[in-house]
Homo-oligomer: A and B are copies of this chain.
Amino acid sequence: MTTLEELRTIPLFAMLDDRTLADTARYMEARTYRPGEYIAYEGERPAGVYFVQRGRVRLSRTAPDGREQVLAMVGAGENFNAVAIFDTHGTLTTARAMSAVHCLILPGDALITLIRRHPDLALAMLREMAGQLRNLAVLVEDLAFRSVRERLARELLREAREGAAELTHQELAERTGTVREIAGRALRQLAQEGLVRLERGRVVVLDPNGLARVGNGT
């Protein structure tokens, strides 16, 4: 059970009328996760759609040899695991809390019932999925066309809040589809060129424009 105000903070529900919203709220279950905690595992049966209220969640797929590829970072107001609800092949990506995370979980059958009743919710959900598809297409493009150096520069710009990105070389490698050593090497080069400064657990962006140039293949 959840308050309507809480639901309103989620864009997907923002434009729904009070009746629809109240209807939705009764199926919602709140849940919190500690930093580093796993929220859902690739392949398992889905508990429902997760709506993130606070914190950041990392969605990834793992190779047999243990290498990980991050597919998306999900923040407040966004959702994940909808795919597993609509096709029936189990949870698509492993979800992990990268900070203290506060989620609302809507069970799959409840979501489907709600969508049947409220067409606007269906359209909103379709919009969300379309956005996710677009993001994944961009990721494919990056992996196919860009070098590690370029991908790294782009990821740093995406992640940089107030001039610094709080992540380790390992994490950066998993997001850009490479391994720790390579990410480290590329970072050191960027540092040498004066574009960033390296600190433990963070990368300070010194020259965003220069970094953007690198990210565009120049």
Contacts and interface: CB of A to CB of B under 8 A. Distances in A.
B61 A140 contact: yes
- Name, among A65, A117, A145, A217, the residue most crowded by chain B CB atoms within 10 Å (CB to CB): A145
A11 interface: no
A206 interface: no
A202 interface: no
Contacts of A61: 137, 140-141
Contacts of A170: none
Question: Interface on chain A toward B: helix, strand, loop, or mixed SS?
Answer: helix
Interface residues of A, number: 43
A3 to B, nearest CB: 27
Interface stretch (A28-36, A83-91, A95-103, A181-189): A83-91
